[in-house]
Copies of this chain bind each other. A is one copy, B any other.
Amino acid sequence: MLAIGTLAKRTGTKVQTIRYYEQIGLLPEPGRTEGGQRRYGDTDLDRLAFIRHARQLGFTLEATRELLDLSDNPDRSCAEVDVIAHRQLKEVEVRISRLEALRKELKRMLRECSRDTVSDCRVLEVLRDHSACLANHDKGV
């Protein structure tokens, strides 16, 4: 049986985060020692590793919860899993294209800057005057 600190180290999680996951019902309440300290088994280790990996891949805790639920029912079709993963993929792709637009505009601003006084700064100029900006913020990209 593992103490919470050991579990934390093995999964690269902070102790508080583990207690937080328990609090929101993502991890089951573990057994306790006489003195009230949490003790974990291998099932908990696997479950927490799963959660951490899902988080590293950008899934929300809610999506992670759904994935865990599905993972607990091995006979069901994996279509639902794939829907969640696909949704996450779309999400990531939207964020990428948004960030690429920002990257482009930031680079342009910096390239065009005269590096003189603030009053001539192209960066501030663009910030003040949206029409000098090539990014389409309105369209969410």
Chain A interface residues (CB < 8 Å from chain B): 46, 49-50, 53-54, 56-58, 67, 70-71, 73-79, 81-82, 85-86, 88-89, 92-93, 95-96, 99-100, 102-103, 105-107, 109-110, 113-121, 123-124, 126-128, 130, 133, 135, 137
Contact = CB atoms under 8 A, between A and B. Distances in A.
B96 A100 contact: yes
Nearest to A47: B128
A135 B99 contact: no
17 contacts: A50-B127, A54-B127, A57-B105, A58-B99, A74-B117, A76-B117, A77-B115, A77-B116, A78-B116, A78-B118, A78-B120, A81-B113, A81-B123, A82-B115, A85-B109, A92-B102, A96-B103
Copies of this chain present in the complex amount to 2
A53 B130 contact: yes
Nearest to A93: B103
Contacts of A106: 57, 85, 88-89, 92
A124 B88 contact: no
Given A76-B118, A118-B75, A82 B123 contact: yes
Nearest to A103: B92
